[in-house]
A = this chain, B = another copy of it.
Amino acid sequence: MENLDLLFFCATCRDKSPEEVVKIKCTIPHSIKNYKKGEYIVYQGDKVEYLYMLVKGKVKTEIVSDPGLTLHIEEIQAPYPLAAAFLFADNNRFPVDVIALEDSEIILVRKDSIEKQMAECPHFLRGFMAFTANRMQFLSERLKIFSLKGIKAKIAFYLLQRAKNNEFELGRSIASLAEYFGVERPSLSRAISEMVRDGIIEFKAGKGKIINRNAMKEML
């Protein structure tokens, strides 16, 4: 149970001390379910009436089309909430099956329990909102990056966002940045090389400088 504060309640009541969190924990009705490897946790089309907090294990999501034909969507590692975006949505049904890849443990909190707790505990409210807001921010930025056409546009946007006085640090490896952009590593590497060759940026060992800001702007 030591996961509770670490994950869910810590994510939501972050400005409380661990001792306080323990008390709050008890006031939120919840149940815990365990699933064996391979077991179905939810079925596509099920109504989302609980917050599903995966606290242990690993699951996968699938879209089932025909018997025997499934489309694998993604894997989710604990700790992570499984249906945060669906609990309050108008279309509050799971778009996928969720299946345990390992023995997994899930904390279930009814939607009305969440609402009640939010009404009673401002910290919880803020925490919950912060969680969804942070996630939304993350999704927005990723979507922005993806919607830019061409690798150089993505690079330009990414660098302009974090440059101070025209100097920047990547903050991550080329390989992971390529994954973040949704392009292949050699393609990103080549694009950077070309921008250096064309005198638009300087770049060496994770750090660099913007030389021609106009050209960067043109790329968006």
Contact = CB atoms under 8 A, between A and B. Distances in A.
Interface in A86-143: 86-91, 95, 115, 118-120, 122, 125-126, 129-130, 132-137, 139-140, 142-143
B91 A137 contact: yes
A85 interface: yes
Nearest to A114: B129
A65 interface: yes
A182 interface: yes
A217 B160 contact: no
Interface in A144-169: 146-147, 149, 157, 160-161, 163
Dominant SS at the A interface? helix
Contact of A136 (B65, B118, B122, B139): B139
Q: Which of A65, A95, A119, A135 has the most CB of B within 10 A?
A: A65
Contacts of A129: 87-88
A114 to B, nearest CB: 9
Interface in A11-43: none
Q: How large is the interface on A (under 10, 10 to 19, 20 to 34, 35 or more residues)?
A: 35 or more
Contact of A125 (B89, B118, B217): B118
A205 interface: no
7 contacts: A65-B217, A84-B136, A85-B137, A88-B129, A89-B130, A89-B136, A139-B140
Interface of A: 63, 65-66, 69, 71, 84-91, 95, 115, 118-120, 122, 125-126, 129-130, 132-137, 139-140, 142-143, 146-147, 149, 157, 160-161, 163, 182, 213-214, 217, 220
